[in-house]
Structures are given as C-alpha cells and as structure tokens.
C-alpha cells in the first residue's frame, strides 16, 4: 500500500524582522487542515523553523498532486493576508505567483514529497532549515547514505551493503544526474561539494528488498532567486528521510548533524555560517539573523496516522555540536564582509548586491 508524505513550506511574513512567525500562522494552518482531514488528507503536523512555516501532510494522492498543493496554497495565501494585516516583515514574500495554476512548484514555496510503499514499521524524520539553501543537505545526506564512519549500517547491515543511488540536480541548468554509491562516490563528491549549484534531490535504495524507484530521502530544491528573478530571501530547505530496516537507523540519520558544518545563506542570504541543530523552542533566528538552524521532527508512520513528532534535537547530546557551532560562528563573523564568511562573487550576484556590482564593474578602466 502506497502513501505520500508532502512537506510544503514558505516564508510568508515574519516577526521580528526575519526571526520567527506569529502563532496565528500555525493556528490558521491547523484550522484549514482540520477541514480536509479525513477527506483529502489523513493526518498532518504544522511547524516552523525561523520565519518559515512548514506543513507536513500524510495522504495517498501521490507527489505534485493538485488538490494537496492547493490546500497548501490556501494556507500560505490566507497567512499572507494576515501578515499584511499585521504589517509583518516580508508579508506574502515567498508566494511569488499570486494565482494557483495546479502546482506549488515554481511558485516560490519549497516542496519535498515522497510516495512509497509503507513498510511495517516505518519511521521518518522531517528536517527543516532556516537561513540557508537547498544544497545545505548535501553534507548530511552523504554522511547518512555513503559514509560508513557515520553510518556503520553500510558495513554491517546486509540490506545496506548494495549502497544507495543519488539523484543530483544542477540547479543552474535544471538538469540531473544519477550516481551510485559506493562505486561513484568520488564523482558524487566532486559535484555536491559545490552546494550552491549541485543539490542532492533524492536518494534511492539499491537493495533488492525495496522498490528501487521509491526514495529513502528527498529534499526541496526550489531556488527563490530563479523563481523571483531577483533576490527574495533564502530558500530555507526541507527534507524527509526514512529510517531503519535496510535504511540508516534514526541515530545514524541524526549523527550526520553532529558536526556543525558550514552552510550558505546567513544574513541577507550572503554569508556562510555553521548549521545549528535546535529544538523547536529554539527555532528562531537571532544573532546576525541566525545562525542558520535546523530542526528534526521524528514520526512513526501508519497508513493514516503520524505518531509524533519527537523533537529530536531537543537533547543535551547535541549541546557539544551547538557549542562548537557558536564558537565557529564567532570566529567566522570576525571576517566581516570578507570571504569565506561572505559568499563568492558569483553567488553575490544572486543577492541585493547585483545592481551595485553591475554598476561598479562599468567603472573599471583598462590598465595601459
């Protein structure tokens, strides 16, 4: 029996500045979703990280389904109106297109969805990050599914030994490539090390035990810059990962976030900084509009019910990572407007600096 998990997210207004969202956004979302529960959707959970509202929906309508996306659109639109009413920052911001035409893809919001045959038992973790970009999940996805030092299951679980297949998107040219782990990990790393351009979209099992076309992980890869044609905030991605029984254990999935690796997208979408794993109560941006944060919500999934969430990073086991991240944040911040804190010149062209740079470049004269 197949089910679908859809995680749909948008920044449609925030307080204070780009810090967080008002409670009414989640209440409005829940009110609307209650209307559809038992009919178009089986179950849901509403959450947020920083200024991004996340809808986690369980249904059986498949990926990129018009009815499901329309429900999310209704929620984002209603909250945009509330945001305008409240004079919030960036009201309606991520809803670049105002009329729904069948899919949220290309309209501004981020989308991560997977349809799969429900296993018994089935555990998933939903990740959502703020002040960063799609490729921010490249590092942990590689760790979870390709690095035995993170995931010893790759060595000792017979169903994991065939490895995993990675679907990588070139976000600049809207093309994709499939690479097999372990035999092609050097090629994989050559690409996904450039997280601004190459993002791991999906990971598939290679074991004969599971359908090879049903993903074990999927992330959102929408780029606001492309969709808006100018800087419109950061993409702030979401990701779904399935756990256990031939897939990484829950602990192997979380372990990938135990190192506060650097991500692109802090302050004005123009700075690199360490990714801080946080509990829901700390899911709001403060210092320098960050540091970039990620939450992890664990669910046990039945065909028509989500049991959870467990707030997986709400644990002292991640205090060391958080303290390290804060130390790194302080170190990198001293670079001010210099690289590698500030993003590369090429990347700066997707921020508000573009028109300034375009003019400045005109002023250069030849050196005789």
Task: Give the distance, in angstroms, between the CA of residue 350 and the centroid of all CA atoms in the same chain.
Answer: 19
CB nearer to ligand 13P: give 106 or 251.
251
Give the residue, chosen from 26, 113, 115, 289, that forms a contact with ligand 13P under the rule CB under 6 A.
Answer: 289
Q: Which of residues 97 and 303 has its CB atom nearest to ligand 13P in the complex?
A: 97
Least Å distance, CB 14 to ligand 13P, is 7
For the CB of residue 233, give the shortest distance to ligand 13P in the complex, in Å. 3
- Candidates 267, 296, 301, 325; binder of ligand 13P (CB under 6 A) is 267
Contact status: 293 vs ligand 13P (CB under 6 A):
no
Length of the chain: 368
CB of 51 to Mg ion, least distance (A): 4
Q: Does 90 bind Mg ion (CB under 5 A)?
A: yes
Decide: is 18 part of the binding site for Mg ion (CB under 5 A): yes
CB of 184 to ligand 13P, least distance (A): 28
Rounded distance between C-alpha atoms, residue 216 and residue 145, angstroms: 10
- Side by side, which strands form the sheet with 110-117? 43-49, 52-59, 2-10, 110-117
Q: Torsions phi, psi of 272, nearest 5?
A: -90, 145
Contacts of 43 (CB under 8 A, 6+ apart): 37, 57, 58, 304, 305, 306
Which residue of 155, 251, 330, 344 would you call a contact of ligand 13P, by CB under 6 A? Answer: 251
- Residue 52 or 115 having the CB closest to ligand 13P: 52
Provide the terminal-to-terminal Cα distance of the chain, rounded to the nearest Å. 72
Residue 279 exposed, middle or buried by CB count within 10 Å (0-12, 13-18, 19+): middle
CA distances from 88 to 12, 63, 306, 356 (A): 9, 32, 32, 27
| 23 cis-preceded (ω within 30 degrees of 0) | no
Stretch that binds ligand 13P, among 138-146, 167-175, 232-240, 360-368 (CB under 6 A): 232-240
> Is there binding between residue 255 and ligand 13P (CB under 6 A)?
no
Q: How far apart are CA 84 and CA 104, in angstroms?
A: 21
Nearer to Mg ion, 246 or 265 (CB): 265
Q: How far is the CB of 131 from ligand 13P (least distance, A)?
A: 5
- Interacting residue with ligand 13P among 223, 234, 242, 284 (CB under 6 A): 234
293 makes contact with Mg ion (CB under 5 A):
no
Residue 133 lies near Mg ion (rule: CB under 5 A)? no
Q: Is residue 18 a contact point for ligand 13P (CB under 6 A)?
A: yes
Least Å distance between CB 238 and Mg ion?
11
Residue number with CB closer to ligand 13P (110 or 163): 110
Q: Identify the CA nearest to 241 among candidates 321, 152, 148, 142.
A: 142
Under rule CB under 5 A, residue 196 binds Mg ion: no
**Residue 236 sits in the site that holds ligand 13P (CB under 6 A):** yes
The one among 51, 133, 222, 255 contacting ligand 13P by CB under 6 A: 51
CB of 48 to Mg ion, least distance (A): 9
**For residue 310, what are the CA distances in angstroms to 8, 98, 126, 209, 241?**
19, 35, 10, 28, 14
Residue closer to ligand 13P (CB basis): 158 or 251? 251
- The residues assigned a catalytic role are 11, 231, 234
| Interface residue list for Mg ion (CB under 5 A) | 11, 14, 18, 50-52, 90, 130, 233-234, 236
């Amino acid at each position: 029996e197949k089910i679908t998990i859809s995680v749909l997210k948008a920044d449609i207004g925030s307080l204070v500045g780009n810090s967080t969202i008002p409670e009414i956004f989640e209440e409005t979302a829940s009110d609307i979703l209650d209307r559809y529960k038992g009919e178009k959707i089986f179950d849901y959970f509403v959450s947020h990280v920083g200024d991004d509202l996340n809808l986690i929906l369980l249904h059986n309508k498949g990926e990129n389904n018009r009815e499901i996306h329309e429900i999310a659109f209704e929620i984002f639109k209603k909250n945009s109106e509330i945001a305008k009413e409240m004079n919030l920052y960036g009201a309606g911001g991520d809803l670049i297109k105002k009329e729904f035409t069948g899919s949220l893809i290309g309209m501004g919001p981020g989308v991560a969805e997977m349809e799969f045959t429900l296993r018994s038992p089935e555990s998933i973790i939903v990740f959502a990050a703020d002040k960063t970009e799609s490729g921010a999940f490249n590092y942990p996805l590689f760790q979870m599914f390709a690095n035995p030092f993170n995931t010893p299951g790759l060595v000792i679980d017979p169903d994991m030994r065939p490895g995993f297949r990675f679907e990588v998107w070139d976000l600049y040219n809207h093309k994709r490539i499939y690479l097999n782990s372990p035999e092609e990990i050097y090629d994989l790393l050559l690409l996904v090390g450039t997280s601004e351009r190459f993002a791991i979209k999906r990971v598939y099992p290679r074991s004969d035990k599971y359908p090879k076309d049903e993903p074990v992980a999927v992330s959102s890869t929408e780029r606001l810059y492309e969709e808006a044609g100018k800087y419109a905030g950061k993409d702030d991605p979401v990701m779904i990962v399935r756990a256990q029984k031939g897939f990484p254990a829950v602990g192997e999935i979380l372990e990938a976030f135990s190192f506060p690796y650097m991500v692109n997208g802090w302050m004005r979408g123009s700075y690199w900084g360490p990714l801080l794993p946080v509990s829901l109560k700390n899911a709001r941006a403060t210092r320098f509009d960050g540091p970039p944060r990620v939450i992890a919500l664990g669910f046990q999934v039945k065909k028509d019910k989500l049991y959870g969430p467990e707030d997986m990073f709400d644990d002292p086991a991640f205090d060391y990572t958080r303290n390290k991240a804060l130390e790194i944040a302080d170190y990198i911040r001293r670079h001010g407007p210099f690289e590698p804190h500030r993003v590369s010149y090429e990347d700066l062209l997707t921020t508000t600096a573009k028109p300034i740079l375009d003019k400045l470049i005109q002023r250069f004269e030849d050196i005789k």
